[in-house]
Amino acid sequence: MTTTTGRAPAPGRRRGPSMADVAREANVSGQTVSRVSNGRDNVDAVTRDRVLAAMTKLGYRPNSAARALRTGRFRSIGVIMFTLSSFGNMRTLDAITTAASDAGYSLTLIPVPHPTKGEISVAFDRLADAAVDGVILIVEAHLLDESDVELPDGLPVVIVDASGDERFPGVDTDQAHGARLAVQHLLDLGHESVWHVAGPERSYSATSRREAWAATLAEHGATAPPVLEGDWSTESGYELGLELAANPAVTAVFAANDQMALGVLRAMHETGRQVPGDVSVVGFDDMSESSSFWPPLTTVHQFFGEVGRRSVEALLREVEVGERRGNSVVDVELVVRQSTAPPR
């Protein structure tokens, strides 16, 4: 005689009560529990209370896997990003998380260690497995030019700060306008020309800023000095800053982000060049520390929160309504502090 197998308590833990259990407890059908659980209004108030009481008593929690299987929706959005360590990305992510959570979506993070084509493909592969309804890409790279990178079919995508490609809706900060404001400000103060510490070539934001810098200079008949290319890091700003400090012709520097600007400031201090007396410095981002740099940094303020919010909005519109929007541009603002002054 064989005994029933009496299977082990649970493979994956947390096999909580199911709808059927609640239904039994409340003496209704599973469907009624489902209706209550989903907040439908075609349930009698008395019945609803009974069901709610049963739910509380049993500690019922809807099983999101079953729900997702049934509905085909995960109520989760994915975010693909390189390196969390950049200030802007963090802020954007923060806003995205909040906006998503307000809309009742959770957020799945999909990291890409290095921005190479191969890694991106890996991320997209992983993405296809991921339980998400849509994806926000924050990759700061011209990856879209590489046409063999393929997004999973039919998965809504919004791209942040890597525009120029019209295949997907995007949300972009007005990089060019920011760079223009920065350069214009320095020119207005009377500087003959403005040197540029740029971000890496592969970054879309970096090239936009660089181009706008060059264009603004050209419009004012100023000759553009050679570009110094950094990698966004404070260290690289410092090293390039030492080069600039050694050149007496340099009176104004526009760094493509605040971190590199900080490095430039340090280089100037170490070499005894006064800021803003001898050299004026402008950054980009307006990170929260910038107002306490020495001297407090003149910089271009980005509205990362707005970028994050709009991304989620655009994505969810496509996910839920099926309506696809075009690109959206977020403006910037020049914040003048004490790192800029007229040349001596």
The site for its own copies (CB under 8 A) is made up of 10-16, 59, 61-66, 68-69, 71-74, 76, 83-85, 90-91, 93-94, 97-98, 101, 106-111, 113, 126, 128-131, 133, 152-155, 233-235, 237-238, 259, 262-263, 265-266, 269, 288-289, 291-294, 296
* Residue (76 or 327) nearer to its own copies, CB: 76
Distance CA 180, CA 22 (A): 63
Query: Which of 25, 133 has the CB closer to its own copies?
Result: 133
Tell me which of 24, 47, 119, 177 binds DNA, using CB under 7 A.
47
Distances (CA, A) of 195 to 4, 100, 103, 274: 80, 40, 44, 16
CA-CA distance, 95 to 86, in Å (whole number)?
Answer: 15
Span interacting with DNA, options 45-53, 138-146, 221-229, 295-303, rule CB under 7 A: 45-53
Find out whether 269 and 297 touch, Cβ atoms under 8 Å: no
Separation between Cα atoms, residue 113 and residue 123, nearest integer Å: 9
DSSP 334: E
The one-character DSSP state at 140 is -
Tokens for 7, please give them.
């299977």
The binding track of 62-101 with respect to DNA, each residue x by CB under 7 A or -, is xx--xx-xxx------------------------------
| Residue 1 makes contact with DNA by CB under 7 A | no
Q: Which stretch binds DNA (CB under 7 A): 21-29, 94-102, 104-112, 123-131?
A: 21-29
**Of residues 140, 145, 197, the one with CA closest to residue 173:** 140
The closest of 193, 308, 211, 317 to 256, measured between CA atoms, is: 211
**CA-angle at 71, arms to 92 and 126, nearest 5°:** 50
Q: Amino acid letter at 196?
A: H
323 is an interface residue for DNA by CB under 7 A: no
Of 25, 32, 197, 259, which one interacts with DNA (CB under 7 A)?
32
Q: Does 29 bind DNA (CB under 7 A)?
A: yes
Q: Is 24 in the site for DNA (CB under 7 A)?
A: no
Binding site for DNA (CB under 7 A): 5, 7-8, 11, 15, 18-20, 27-32, 34-35, 37-38, 41-44, 46-48, 62-63, 66-67, 69-71
